[in-house]
Every structure is written in C-alpha cells, then in structure tokens.
Structure 1
Amino acid sequence: MTAPIDRLLGIMARLRAPDGCPWDRAQDFASIAPYTIEEAYEVDDAIRQGDMGQLREELGDLLLQVVFHAQMAKEDGHFDFDAVATAISDKLVERHPHVFTDATAENAEAVKLTWEELKAAERARKAEAKGRTASILDDVGRALPALMRAEKLQKRAAHVGFDWPDTDQVIAKIEEELAELKHELAAGTRNAANIHEEMGDLLFALANLARHLKVDPELALRDCNAKFERRFTYIESTLAADGRAPDQASLEEMEALWQRAKSEEKLKKSA
C-alpha cells in the first residue's frame, strides 16, 4: 500500500504534469504564497474553536501548501520534499541536544535558552556567509502580520536591554505618539505621508504596551474583530426583522442596538 505522504506527493506531481490541471500548472511560488498564509490562519482558527475534525482538515490543507511549494522547487531543480523534511529533522535534532545527545536541560526555561543560543549561532553563520554582521533581528519573519512582527521585534530588542523599564513609560510614549498624530491632523496641509508615519508609530507603541502587559496584540485585535462582527450582525439582524437594512437606520439607532448587543453579551457572561 502506498504511504499517504507518497500518494499526496504523487497527486501533486500529476497535477503539475504537462497534461495535468491548467490552474495548478499556472501557479508559481508568489501566487501560492497567499494561500499558504491563509491556510496557516485556518489552522489557528480551528484550534481556537476546539474543532478537531476541522483541525485535521486544515492541517491537510496546510500540508498541501508545503507539498505544492516543494513540487515547484523540484521542477526548477532547487530541492524536493525529502530535502525539506530532512532539513527540518536535522534542525530539530540540532536544537534539542538534551534529547539527542548527552546534554541535559533541567526545565523548559533551560531548553528555551539553549534554543535561543543555537538560533543566535545560526544567525551569525548566515550573516557571515553574506559578508555582514549578524543582527538579533535577522530572523524575525518579514511576512508576519505587521502587528505580530512589531511585538516580536520589540521582544528581541528587549533581550539586549533596549526596552522601557515599566508600563508607565510605554503609556507616556503612546500619549506622545497620539499627540504627534493629532498635530498632523490639525495641520492645514494634512500631509498624508506624515499621517501615515505617525499612525504607524502609534500602532507600534500600542503593540509595545500589549507586550509589557503580556497580551498578544494580534490575538487581542482578532478577538476584538470577532466582537465587532458579532455586534454588527446583531444590528443587521434586528433591523432585518423590521424589514430594514443598516443604511436605512440612523447612526443613533444603530448605536442603541450596539449598546443592547453589548449589554446582552455581558448578561450571558455573568449567567
């Protein structure tokens, strides 16, 4: 019997064959990348929902993305799926010396410290190969969502002492950035580039506050998005029961329905 992974690899090769699927054959790394990112988020959502059946399906979709990229790389003579699996296996063995060698690790914190030391050495090797000095920020993924990347950049910098010592100073920085944004908005010219920059500075400072409060800013915003969606759909459904759409209601009426939805959520939480 063909192993499941070999069957999947065979299906992907067939889809990419000259007489395969026109859509699959037309794709390249750049066109597939957005799907890869989307599938990773679908995995995250299934986990957050606690839906194991959905998680199994989404993990399959994510695995397909790896197989798709590996098949395209194989066609171009770069690497294949086995090379991908070998590389990650080697990395796992290297970064767990306390499991695969005689080294020891007393607790999870010691494991994390060893992992970071090995990653630092890896960054140095990669930078040296490119003829430059390594940065502690080198391997913070550029493709990460901006809010998540901001938090990770700040965390890395904090490891070497570049950080505010307490939340009061972070809040003061937020107030400073907000004041600068207000200043730009009050200016008669309303320079779009300056407003763009000040808005970014404010968001970066807010991400910093979340990190100091040990709140994941990406998850916090995601939960807030879900809350907004729940309350707005409540407005829509309530108005629909009256034969109307949101654009047929006043802002005051929609705000009242929003507050009603908010109150009902609080009652459910306290029940």
Structure 2
Amino acid sequence: MTQPHRLSRLEEIIQQLRSENGCPWDKKQTPASIKKYLIEESRELAEAIDNGEPQHIREEIGDLFFILTILCEMFREKDIFTTEDALQTIIDKMIRRHPHVFNGAPTGTDQELRRQWQAIKEMEKTEKK
C-alpha cells in the first residue's frame, strides 16, 4: 500500500467511525474534546523518543496521525478545510521558510538560518493580519 493510499485509508476509517453507524465515542468528539488526546499523544511520543524505542516511536507517531486526521475530518465535515488543505499549507510553508533549499538562496550559518526563519515567520504573521 502506498503512502497516499494509506492516508486515504485512514481517512476512510475515520469517516466510518464518525458515520451514522460508527463508533459513539468517535462520533461525539469535537476539536475541543480531542485536544487533550492531542496533548497526551504528543507527550507519549516525546517519551518514546527519549527512551529511544523505534517500535514505540512508530506506534506513537501513528496515534498522533490518527488524532491529526480525525481533527481534519471534523473540519471537513463543516466544509472548513480538508486534510489535503492542511498538507498543502505545510508544504507551502516549508518551501517558503527554506529559500536556501528551494529557491537557490545562499546557505548561511545555523544562526543566520534561524534569523532568516524568524524573519520569514514574522512576515507571515504580518501578512495574516
């Protein structure tokens, strides 16, 4: 199974879980109610990384994928945005914030790259206002 197909499969599973005949627990979740699980799964992933256990890390990354994907589904159900929209947003952001990789800009020191990252981030915040 390819990566895009696996993501689509996860989305299908979540849609089934939240469907009329789905799981009562999954159906009643909201972004506000799922937030605590997002925090919990992030903490568990951090612990797994600290412990250096690849199998546990993989499991916790999967749990986090589930939480992020169910959040996207909640927003898709309200016609706000989709998983694809969220993925495109991060793709665009990473390209924008790495001009030294994607736009042929000169590569500087780590400190210069951090300053550049912060400057781009601040510019993005200003543009959002």
- Give the structure-1-normalised TM-score: 0.46
Alignment correspondent of 1:23: 25
Per-residue deviation at 1:6? 1.2
Alignment correspondent of 2:68: 66
The runs of 5 or more residues in structure 2 that have no matched partner are none
Which one has the largest radius of gyration?
1
- Identify the match of residue 7 of structure 1 among 3, 6, 9: 9
Per-residue deviation at 1:106? 2.4
User: Deviation string for 1:145-172 (max 9, x for gaps)?
Assistant: xxxxxxxxxxxxxxxxxxxxxxxxxxxx
Q: Distance in 2 between matches of 1:120 and 1:7?
A: 37
Q: Which has the higher contact order (CA 8 A, sep 6+)?
A: 2
Per-residue deviation at 1:111? 1.4
Q: Percent identity?
A: 37
Alignment correspondent of 2:94: 92
Alignment correspondent of 1:36: 38
User: Secondary structure of 2:112's partner?
Assistant: helix
* Total equivalences in the alignment: 127
Per-residue deviation at 1:5? 1.1
User: Deviation string for 1:7-66 (max 9, x for gaps)?
Assistant: 111101111111111110011111100000110001100000111110000000001111
Equivalent AA in structure 2 for residue 55 of structure 1: I
The runs of 5 or more residues in structure 1 that have no matched partner are 130-271
Q: Distance in 2 between matches of 1:87 and 1:60?
A: 21
Q: CA RMSD in A?
A: 1.1
User: Deviation string for 1:64-98 (max 9, x for gaps)?
Assistant: 11101000000011001000000000000000000
- Give the structure-2-normalised TM-score: 0.94
Q: Distance in 2 between matches of 1:14 and 1:108?
A: 46
